């Protein structure tokens, strides 16, 4: 599943770009997590920490004309597809300057102008929406694709079967990316999911692949195959990216869960397989970057995080007096 160094031929710049994209998500989300725990964020936040290689592996190959649909754990996809961190932070803080002017919050970050259909509070909802966007892309005939990111828990929604069926029949340019992070909320996958999720593509005759979701290069190559196939009009794929959610299902969980649902050892094992340090080592070992390069990126991202938080904190809350049905209808 992992890729030999000899098979990798990305430029130094591309490799650093992947590193930057993953680290950017990580650092922004760490800050969101801290702020959530400090009580600075009004609603629930679900962090993507540990899964960054999946979002970046796919989204780094997309343009604004391609569509992605995401989940309640959606900051990473939003950022990977080019979403703005200031608008993200302001939205999560519930401010007027958020990209949804405080109407959506963490679970609904979206930017349609960048093809980001957005996070979704309904588990599995993005699967059908992206199938429709992919149908639109097919009718447009310009080679755009749609990608739905969803969890292993969402794979148990019947809509996945419906979508695979119609996507294969219509040869839609769509990729269903299941990020199997081991848990559906607090239920370990083994207790709620039968068989291998990727095998659910087989009866429909959809292309399918399992990939190490903590290996950016492996994800990138797998994504490249699926995207190429979709752009060429050769139909959908189901990808199962095996990964792990390092943080809680929701940041506040320690405050309300009465017992543990996973062992510290298991978490530690997966932290040892963290996609970002592994990638940093790979880039350095290959002589494609120096520690100084990585430090520079770290500093740039730290500045971006600070700026985003300052922007959010300095922004006003939306004015309830202005509230009405103004966004209900166009």
Ligand X SMILES: Cc1ncc(C[n+]2csc(CCOP(=O)(O)OP(=O)(O)O)c2C)c(N)n1
Which residue, 89 or 159, has its beta carbon nearer to another protein?
159
Using the rule CB under 8 A, is 325 a contact of another protein?
yes
Long-range contacts of 4-12 (CB under 8 A, 24+ apart): 5/282, 5/285, 5/286, 7/221, 8/217, 8/286, 10/217, 10/288, 12/288, 12/289
What binding mask, one character per residue, do residues 111-130 give for another protein by CB under 8 A, x or -?
A: xxx---xx-xxx--x-xxxx
Which residue, 165 or 221, has its beta carbon nearer to another protein?
165
Which residue, 170 or 261, has its beta carbon nearer to another protein?
170
The entry of ligand X, Mg ion, another protein, none near residue 92 (CB within 5 to 8 angstroms by kind) is: none
The entry of Mg ion, another protein, ligand X, none near residue 321 (CB within 5 to 8 angstroms by kind) is: none
Q: Between residue 229 and residue 248, which ones bind ligand X under the rule CB under 6 A?
A: 245
Token pair belonging to 105: 């919050």
CA atoms within 13 A on the CB side of 320: 0
Q: Please report the beta strands in 10-99, taking only residues with DSSP state E, as ranges in sequence order.
A: 67-69
Q: Which of 256, 151, 224, 292 is nearest to 3 (CA)?
A: 224
What binding mask, one character per residue, do residues 119-148 give for ligand X by CB under 6 A, x or -?
A: --xxx-------------------------
How many residues touch another protein (CB under 8 A)? Answer: 48
Using the rule CB under 8 A, is 100 a contact of another protein?
yes
> Strands 183-184, 187-188: parallel, antiparallel or unpaired by DSSP?
antiparallel
Question: Quick one: which H or E segment has residue 151?
Answer: strand 146-151
How many residues touch Mg ion (CB under 5 A)? Answer: 5
H helices present in 151-215, as ranges:
159-170, 189-192
Binding site for Mg ion (CB under 5 A): 151-153, 181, 183
């Amino acid at each position: 599943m992992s890729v030999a160094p000899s098979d990798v031929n990305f430029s130094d710049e591309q490799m650093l770009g992947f590193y930057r994209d993953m680290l950017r998500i990580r650092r922004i989300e760490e800050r969101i997590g801290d702020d959530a725990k400090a009580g600075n964020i009004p609603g629930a936040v679900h962090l993507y920490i540990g899964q960054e290689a999946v979002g970046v592996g796919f989204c780094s190959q997309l343009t604004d004309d391609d569509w992605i649909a995401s989940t309640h754990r959606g900051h990473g996809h939003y950022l990977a597809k080019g979403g703005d961190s200031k608008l993200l932070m302001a939205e999560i803080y519930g401010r007027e300057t958020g990209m949804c002017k405080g109407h959506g919050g963490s679970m609904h970050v979206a930017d349609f102008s960048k093809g980001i259909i957005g996070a979704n509070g309904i588990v599995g909802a993005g699967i059908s929406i992206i199938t429709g966007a992919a149908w639109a892309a097919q009718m447009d005939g310009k080679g755009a694709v749609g990608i739905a990111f969803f969890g292993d828990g969402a794979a148990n929604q019947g809509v996945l079967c419906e979508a695979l069926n119609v996507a294969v029949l219509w040869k839609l340019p769509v990729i269903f990316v299941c990020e199997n992070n081991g848990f559906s909320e607090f239920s370990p996958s083994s207790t709620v999911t039968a068989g291998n999720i990727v095998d659910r593509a087989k009866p429909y005759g959809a292309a399918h692949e399992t990939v190490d979701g903590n290996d950016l290069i492996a994800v990138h190559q797998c994504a490249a195959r699926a995207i190429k196939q979709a752009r060429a009009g050769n139909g959908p794929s189901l990808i199962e990216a095996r990964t792990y959610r390092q943080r809680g299902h929701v940041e506040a969980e320690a405050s309300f869960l009465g017992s543990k649902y996973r062992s510290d050892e298991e978490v530690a094992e997966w932290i040892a397989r963290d996609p970002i340090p592994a990638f940093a080592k790979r880039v350095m070992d290959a002589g494609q970057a120096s520690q100084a390069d990585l430090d520079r990126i770290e500093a740039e991202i730290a500045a971006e995080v600070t700026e985003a938080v300052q922007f959010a904190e300095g922004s006003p809350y939306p004015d309830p007096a202005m509230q009405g049905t103004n966004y209900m209808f166009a």
